[in-house]
Amino acid sequence: MAKTYIIQKGDTLARIARARLGDATLAETLADYNGLPDGQQIFVGQQILLPSNKDRHAAVKTRAKTQPRAGAVWLTAPHGFQAVRDTFGDILRYIRDDGSIDPKWEAERMLKAALPFSIPLAWDTSKSVSSIRCHKLIAPLIEEVFRQIVAQGLQSTIKTYGGGYVFRPKRGAVKPSTHSWGIAIDLNPNTNAMGTTGDMDPRLVALFEGFGFVWGGRWAGRNKDPMHFQYCSGY
C-alpha cells in the first residue's frame, strides 16, 4: 500500500528515498511514481506517494493474457509515468500556464470506442452512452472487451458509466489521472466509491484483467478504487 508523505524544508527526493524507502537511488523511482518529470521540482507542503514494495517490484511490462482476434494486435500496457508518456503522449507539453489542457491534446489522440450496448450515466440515469471517449491506441481493445462482456453474458454486471477520457489530476495527488490519457474507465461508481470494497462482479474484473487492465479494487486503503480500470501499471 502506498503511503503519503508531506515535503519538508530541506527535502530532496534522494533524502526521502533514503529515509523512507531505505535507498537513495530510488529517487528516480519516487519521481516516476508521482509523475514528476523533474525530481527537483518539489516544494514544502507538497504531498507525494511512497510506493509500496509491491509497486516498486512490479513487472516493467504487463501483457494481456487474452489473445486478440485474428488480425488484431493489442498494445502492451506500459508501467510507470515515463512509459505512459512514451506510449500515449507527453501530456505535460499540452498543459497550459493556467492549468488547462490544450484542445490539440484531445483532437490528436482521443476518439470514440463504440459499445455494443448502452450504459446509463451514473450522474443522470435517464441518459445513456453508446460509446466511450478514449485514447485512439486502445479504442479497438476497449471495443473487444465490451464485445466479450456481451459474449460471456456479463452485460447485466454493468449498471452505470462513470467516465472515460477527462483531463484532471489523480484524486488526492497533483499528477495527471490516467483518465487524462484516455486509458481509464470508471464503471458502477455509485456502489464502488473510492476507499471502499465495492461490489464489482469478480467475473467482470477477471475479464478486464485478462485483457491487461489494472483494477483499482486491488489497491489498498484510501487509494482503493473499485470502480476504476486502467490500461497501465505502476502509476
User: pLDDT value at position 42?
Assistant: 81
pLDDT tens column, 136-172: 999 999 999 999 999 999 999 999 999 999 998 776 5
Residue-level pLDDT at 204: 98
Nearest CA-CA partner of 18 in 32, 33, 4, 29 = 29
Residue 95 has pLDDT above 80, yes or no: yes
Report CA dihedral (97, 103, 108, 110) to the nearest 10 degrees: 110
CATH number at residue 172: 3.30.1380
CATH of the domain at 34: 3.10.350.10
pLDDT, greater one: 75 or 40: 75
In the DSSP assignment, the letter for residue 185 is: E
pLDDT at 195 over 50: yes
The predicted model scores a pTM of 0.76
> Is it the case that residue 62 has pLDDT exceeding 50?
no
Q: Are residues 87 and 28 in the same domain?
A: no
For residues 53 and 127, state if they share a domain.
no
Verify that 66 and 117 share a domain, yes or no. yes
> Which residues constitute the domain of residue 51?
1-57
CA distance 35 to 42: 11
**What is the C-alpha separation between 152 and 57, in angstroms, rounded?**
33
| 182 in the same domain as 88 | yes
Whether residues 132 and 74 fall in one domain: yes
Task: Tell me the average pLDDT across 90-118.
Answer: 94
* CA 5, 9, 11, 12 torsion-angle sign: positive
β-pair partners for 176: 169
- Kindly report the average pLDDT of the chain as a whole number: 87
Q: Does 148 map to a domain?
A: yes
Contact 78, 87 (CB under 8 A): yes
pLDDT of 60 strictly over 50: no
Q: Are residues 35 and 93 in the same domain?
A: no
If one counts the domains in the chain, the total is 2
pLDDT in the model for residue 72: 62
Q: Which CA distances in Å does 8 have to 12, 45, 51, 96? A: 9, 7, 18, 28
The residues near 186 (Cβ < 8 Å, ≥ 6 apart) are: 122, 161, 162, 163, 164, 179, 227, 228, 229
Q: pLDDT digit string (tens) for 115-141?
A: 999 999 999 999 999 999 999 999 999
